[in-house]
Amino acid sequence: MLEDVSFSAGREFVLVAGPNGAGKTTLFLAILGQVPHRGEICVEELCGEERAAKVGYVPQHVRIEAEATVWEYVYLPARFRKIKAAERAAEEALKAVELYALRDKPVTTLSGGQRQRAAIARALATGGDVLLLDEPMANVDPQGRVELMTLLRELKKDRTILMTSHELTFPSDLADKVLLLNKRVVAYGPPDAVFREEVLMKIYRYVRIAKTPAGFICVTEDYGAHPH
């Protein structure tokens, strides 16, 4: 259950952070109209159920449990949503994530990182104005993460991206804002304003913050602070 959640985002990248069970996925499902909610959720002035058509979604667990080609995986949902020029949308989305060359391959043969990119392409093809990415970095190896972050840097230029993460280490130039959730909004603002110890200590008791020379904000476990 989420309460008192109120925020707005423009064409920017918002990192939705918070501990497990904070309501990050629930927030996304509410935006998609899949869980009941009170109040108003609008996407580009669409406040009814029709707003879901403007939203591309990458679920937390990208499970692929039956056969389909990469093309079908991306194109068919766009067709189901009756997106105009669904074929072109799917083609452009696959090109954007650099998977167009693999479009005839079974999606089950893709690596973890490629699957995440395919899922992002599918989200782009089905409603690319707003992207909701639910833990896209989970189950992706370091190489895949770097590729995904590079892709997201490109994508955020002309759309709104909300990405959840329970891990708080990320390149500081990627997120424009951070929405810190724990059943309600704990903080919302630029990363430097949110990732401060006095803010994080409201929900995390054993963490410390560092910024690497390469520009990564690292929020790591502070085992020394734990009373054992």
Partner 1 sequence: MLILIEALAAASAAAAFVHAYLYAPLLFWPLVSLVLSAAVLAALSPLAVSRRMTFLAHAQGHSILTAALAAAIPAAAVAQSLASPLFYLATLLFIIVLNLLVLFTERLGFRKDVATGVVMSFQLTATVVLLYVIRSLYATALDPLSLITGEYVLITSQDVLIQAPLLFASALFPLFYGVKYLYAAVDEAFAQAVGINPKLLDRLFVVAMSLAVAASVYALGSLIPAVLLVLPGAAASRYSHRLTEQMPLSVSLAVLSAAAAHFLYTILPWLWPSAALGLALLVLLVAAQPLARRCV
Residues that bind partner 1 (CB under 8 A): 32, 34, 52, 57, 59-69, 72-73, 76-77, 80-81, 106-109, 119, 122, 126
Closest to partner 1 by CB, 136 vs 191, is 136
Residue among 63, 150, 66 nearest 112 (CA): 63
Task: Report, in Å, the least distance between residue 129 CB and partner 1.
Answer: 15
Task: Report, in Å, the least distance between residue 192 CB and partner 1.
Answer: 33
Task: Report, in Å, the least distance between residue 88 CB and partner 1.
Answer: 18
Closest to partner 1 by CB, 55 vs 217, is 55
Task: Report, in Å, the least distance between residue 72 CB and partner 1.
Answer: 5
Task: Report, in Å, the least distance between residue 106 CB and partner 1.
Answer: 4
Structure tokens at 190: 């630029």
Residue type, 82: K
Q: How far apart, in whole angstroms, are the C-alpha atoms of residue 30 and residue 74?
A: 23
Closest to partner 1 by CB, 66 vs 214, is 66
Please give the angle made by the CA atoms of 177, 206 and 213, to the nearest 5 degrees: 55
Closest to partner 1 by CB, 114 vs 126, is 126
Residue among 143, 129, 157, 131 nearest 12 (CA): 157
- Which H helix or E strand runs over 125? helix 112-127
Closest to partner 1 by CB, 72 vs 222, is 72
Please name every residue paired with 42 in a beta bridge, in sequence order, or none if there are none. none
